[in-house]
A = this chain, B = another copy of it.
Amino acid sequence: MSPSSIAFYGASNNPMKMGTMQLANLLESGYRGEVYPIHPREERVMGLPAYRSLEEVGKPVDMAQLVIPTRLVPSVLEECGRNGVRHAIIISGGFGETMSEEGRRLEREVLDVARRYGIRFLGPNCVGVQNASCPLNTTTMPEPPFGGGVAIASQSGAYTSMLNPYLRAQGMRIRQTISVGNEADIDLVDCLEYFAGQEEVRAIGLYVEAVRRPRRFIATARRVVARKPVVAVYVGGNEAGSRSSLTHTGAVSGPDWLYDGLFRQAGIIRADDMDCMADYLWALSTQPLPPGERMAVVTNSGGPGTSLAYHLEKAGMSVPAFSLRLQERLRELTSPMTTVCNPVDITFETNIYIYKQLVEAAFESGEVDGAFLYGVFGAADIGVNIKKRMPELAPLEKAWDEKFLAFLPELAEVPARHGKPLLVMSFLGTGSATVRTLVESDQPVFSSASRAVRAMQCLLRYREVRRSLADRESEGLSVTTLARP
């Protein structure tokens, strides 16, 4: 994840080759270590001096990346081992996942070489890693990861590197990704252990087509989830999924019920798909856990308020009618048109501080354990045409908007200060400075009621996971002992 130097096998000056794309991405990722392209003929690769072999480099190299024809992988890894390289990313495919005798034999050979030299490696058949903390991007996708507290390990390459544009468009950030490929050496269990030790990682996601070491997986996960939440997507659980999975990573999957049980035992929260997992991880990595299931809904529009209330109750949470005392308090803060019962519907309102005031009043009352907001707009969001039609007001609108944007980070601090989660719903997306400011302040913003609600549901589930682990501990049964094979 943080190599001090990299030998790169398989990049050339042909832009249509995967190795070339990956080297370009590595060089543009901000990586600060030395990079040595190794090429049999080229003098220079992408402007860097190229070497015939590691011997020619003549300096210690920390890691090697291999994007070369399958049959060459064992001998090149051998060269790496001889020259003191102890870490490798093997991008090349054509191994166990082809289900052929030859592919399996080559994968065993690669593993033998690695064991002989004490090399730990990712893959084969993977896209490598991304690490915003290094920074480093070894993958085929140009966009590097960009921070935050989420890490993902995945049996699909696309579900690491390719996710970035999606996450960025939503306003989510990702810290580290690992594509494990065929897991001949490093597997999901190793990734869990690694992420657990990374201070910046606050929530972990896994994309799973098959768990290869179920006992170790469960034992490790149980230790990890006591400190950090783990969410998994599993898609090998039916005929079509398992057939596809088999040709993808060569992994033998099991039925959905088996994996449901496995994840439950492991304390891992299952997500239906990657977008759902992203929503879960966003909330888990930024919000405190709700002490209970009572939720406040604050909105400036009936539809989103009603939708949030409906989905909350459907998901087993409650939207309790506020006490008269709290209603009176809210009444003091709002206009006469406001419904103060819960949902609180402020309709049209130009006091930019109102949302924070209302959420804090609800939190302070002790009547709710979390809150939802819809309707956080700035002048830049809804005043565009005013500015066009009334240019003389532009300075006023601008001042209002700047004040609003400066205030939003304060709103985003409410959850931590009160120890209760706050989730925002908005259709504006990261095209809006309002949403950008919120998400950069680690305030998740979801584009629908059901997405915001499922994220809160996940926070509650993780609270349950923590509780049930704590219960077992207090029964005198060590979690680690219990789960170890």
Knowing A240-B310, A240-B318, say if A248 contacts B21 (CB, 8 Å). Answer: no
Contact mask for chain A residues 440-476; partner B; CB cutoff 8 A; 1 contact, 0 none: 0000000111110000000000000000000000000
Contact mask for chain A residues 314-343; partner B; CB cutoff 8 A; 1 contact, 0 none: 100011010000000000000001010101
Knowing A28-B388, A273-B450, say if A15 contacts B396 (CB, 8 Å). Answer: yes
Contacting pair A303 B273 (CB below 8 A): no
Knowing A21-B383, A142-B382, A273-B448, say if A47 contacts B389 (CB, 8 Å). Answer: yes
A305: B residues at CB distance < 8 A: 244, 248
| Copies of this polypeptide in the complex | 2
Contacting pair A303 B207 (CB below 8 A): yes
A319: B residues at CB distance < 8 A: 240, 243-244
Contacting pair A447 B302 (CB below 8 A): no
Partner of A385, one of B13, B28, B163: B28
Residue of B nearest to A451 (CB): B275
A290: B residues at CB distance < 8 A: none
Q: How far is the CB of A349 from chain B (nearest CB, A)?
A: 10
Binds B, one of A74-82, A115-123, A231-239, A355-363: A231-239
Interface residues on chain A, number (Cβ under 8 Å)? 100
Knowing A15-B383, A46-B389, A276-B450, say if A154 contacts B303 (CB, 8 Å). Answer: yes
Contacting pair A306 B236 (CB below 8 A): yes
Knowing A243-B309, A275-B448, A303-B155, say if A166 contacts B24 (CB, 8 Å). Answer: no
Partner of A15, one of B163, B243, B345, B390: B390
Cα A389 to Cα B243 in complex, Å, equals 40
Contact mask for chain A residues 347-376; partner B; CB cutoff 8 A; 1 contact, 0 none: 110100000000000000000000000110
Contact mask for chain A residues 285-316; partner B; CB cutoff 8 A; 1 contact, 0 none: 00000000000010001111111011111100
Interface check A393, CB cutoff 8 A: yes
Knowing A13-B390, A46-B390, A303-B158, say if A310 contacts B236 (CB, 8 Å). Answer: yes
Contacting pair B24 A238 (CB below 8 A): no
What would 12 A/B residue contacts be, using CB atoms closer than 8 Å? A15-B396, A15-B397, A21-B386, A24-B386, A28-B388, A46-B390, A93-B347, A155-B303, A165-B429, A209-B306, A273-B450, A274-B449
Interface residues of A (CB under 8 A from B): 13, 15-16, 18, 20-21, 23-25, 27-28, 46-47, 93-94, 140-143, 154-159, 162-166, 169, 207, 209, 233, 235-241, 243-245, 247-249, 272-276, 297, 301-307, 309-314, 318-319, 321, 337, 339, 341, 343, 345, 347-348, 350, 374-375, 382-386, 388-390, 393, 396-397, 427-429, 431-432, 447-451
